[in-house]
Amino acid sequence: MKNIDIQIDEDYGLKTDPVKHDLVVGDVTLQNQALILIAQPGEWKEHPMVGCGIEGITNDEDNGQWRRDIREQLTRDGMKVRSLKINQDNIEIDAEYEND
């Protein structure tokens, strides 16, 4: 299942169980969505086409292009995007990994 993997913490470090001192494994769908949104294209050397560079949306009025780019990136990662809404305050994504 693509949605189960090692989780990261708020500082982008590996999340560990404080009792067992093991890596935490679980659903990474939202984590992966966030990483794809904030990554700049070319930032991930093994996958240079991944990334939306969402910080550039701040003063951009073309939400249609952003919606297309985000949808394309999430779809490439194996997610089915049900809905995607962008407004001045946030981005709402309803997407999940498709079953293998």
Rounded to the nearest integer, the mean pLDDT of the chain is 90
pLDDT above 60 for 3: yes
| Percent of the chain with pLDDT strictly greater than 90 | 73
The answer to whether 86 and 67 have CB atoms below 8 angstroms apart is yes
Q: Give pLDDT tens digits for 6-49.
A: 999 999 999 999 999 999 999 999 999 999 999 999 999 999 99
Domains for the chain: give ranges and CATH numbers: 4-97 (3.10.450.40)
H-run or E-run covering 69: helix 63-76
What single-letter amino acid sits at 23?
A: L
Question: What's the rounded Cα separation, in Å, for the pair 60 and 52?
Answer: 13
